[in-house]
Amino acid sequence: MEKLLIIALGFFAQGLFFIRTIAQWFKSEKEGEVISPVIYWQISLVASILMLTYGILRHDFAIVIGQSLVYGIYIRNLQLKNVWQKMHGVLKVLALAIPVVYWVWLLSSGNFAHILHNKTVSLFWMIWGTTAQIVFISRFFYQWIHSENKKESVFPLGFWIISTAGSLMIFTYSIARLDPVLFAAHSLGLFTYIRNIFLHYGKGSLFESLTKIPVLNKVIGKVSDKIK
């Protein structure tokens, strides 16, 4: 029962990650160019905390390191979007404090050593999984540097190329780990990464023909307007 609850938590976290990706993709398809909506970063922050929790409970070193490294970049993008500054003080304190509390607990309780020496994961797959996570999250460091140079939150082409490569690596890791959460997430995510690459190269929107139908054009427009 406990294992099922942990898996459910992981699916919920990855579900949020998937929702953020779909929201970003939908907005981009509607606009015909790659967009960095606020909701993408807001959902990222919540999902990252949940995924970090899942990684700890699964004793998965790769997930714990991956989520810990990228967390601050989500906050920085919210700052670039001028959203972080407007958030309630309590929410900002919680957002900053939760990961710190987790790491203090991991290091003081000895649980980090247990995660690091998880006997259910071979050394090869731990190295592969960690490398895959680092490659995957390095997209956010690339995006962050690019955004700082532009003085605004944007998604450069390299972000999606790195996303595709890292996702394929994690996909193979999920098979070795028999992790249904990672398997499902990185199976579904590849489509949106590739679509954003096409949009960067000026390929037409998939909604182009749909928007010629008045009813669908109205629905697509209303949904897109809700994604800020």
Average pLDDT, the chain: 86
- 46 burial (CB, 10 Å; 0-12 / 13-18 / 19+) is middle
Residue 160 CA to residue 150 CA, distance in Å, equals 18
Answer for the pair 30, 218: CB distance below 8 angstroms, yes or no: no
Residue 147 CA to residue 80 CA, distance in Å, equals 8
Does 1 score more than 70 pLDDT? Answer: no
What would the pLDDT profile of 69-122 be if each residue is shown by its tens digit?
899 999 999 999 999 999 999 999 999 999 999 888 888 877 777 676 666 677
Residue 207 CA to residue 228 CA, distance in Å, equals 19
Question: Which range in 2-11, 69-78, 177-186 is most confidently predicted, on average pLDDT?
Answer: 69-78
Q: pTM of the full predicted structure?
A: 0.83
* pLDDT given for residue 203 in this prediction: 75
What would the pLDDT profile of 13-68 be if each residue is shown by its tens digit?
988 998 999 999 889 888 888 899 999 999 999 999 999 999 888 888 878 888 99
The residue ranges of every structural domain in the chain are 2-226
Output the six-digit token pair for 225.
């307007």
